[in-house]
Amino acid sequence: MSDASDPHFFDRMNALVKLANHQCADASADQVSHAFINASSRFNVWLWAVTSADVNDMKSRREEALKILMQETYDSFNRQFDEYAANFDEYMKDSIRMVPGTTMTRAPRE
């Protein structure tokens, strides 16, 4: 799942962030986040399914898949968190401060 050799990685990632931001116009950020987490899980399960020989192979690789996904999620979250912390004032200057669970009136910074 490394992005180092993929020249279109950030384009795809930014397109998904943009979609999430736009969905915040009609739903709370918490609801959008929950939907994206579940969509990511569903997509990753599909990826493991299509790379499995059969259902037994897929089931036998469950812990491997979960370990890889959890590590990738952990690493990605830490990278993104550190970037936001380092650039907090710049990234948040046009964003709406909100209480978790509230619905946004306009999309956040893309």
pLDDT in tens, 16-52: 999 998 998 899 888 999 999 999 999 999 999 999 9
Instruction: Check residue 22 and give its pLDDT.
Output: 92
Q: Which carries the bigger pLDDT value, residue 74 or residue 95?
A: 74
Q: Note whether residue 72 is domain-resident.
A: yes
Does 106 map to a domain? no
In a domain, 98, yes or no: no
Q: Would residue 41 count as lying in a domain?
A: yes
The answer as to whether 101 is a domain residue is no
Euclidean distance between CA atoms 69 and 46, whole angstroms: 13
**Is residue 38 in a domain?**
yes
Rounded CA gap, 10 and 38, in Å? 21
What pLDDT score was predicted for residue 105?
A: 47
The mean predicted confidence, pLDDT, of the chain is 87
Q: Which CATH number covers residue 57?
A: 1.10.287.3020
Which pLDDT band holds residue 94 (cuts at 50, 70, 90)? confident
- Whether 108 contacts 96, CB under 8 Å: yes
- 30: containing domain: 9-92
Axis-axis angle for helices 29-50, 9-23 (nearest 10): 140
What's the rounded Cα separation, in Å, for the pair 95 and 98?
Answer: 9
Task: Please state the rounded mean pLDDT for residues 10-16.
Answer: 95
| Cβ 18 vs Cβ 110: under 8 Å | yes
Q: pTM for the full model?
A: 0.76
Average confidence (pLDDT) over 84-103? 76
For 4, which DSSP code?
A: T
Question: What residues have CB less than 8 Å from 47, skipping those under 6 apart?
Answer: none
Output the pLDDT for position 28. Answer: 86
Domain count within the chain:
1
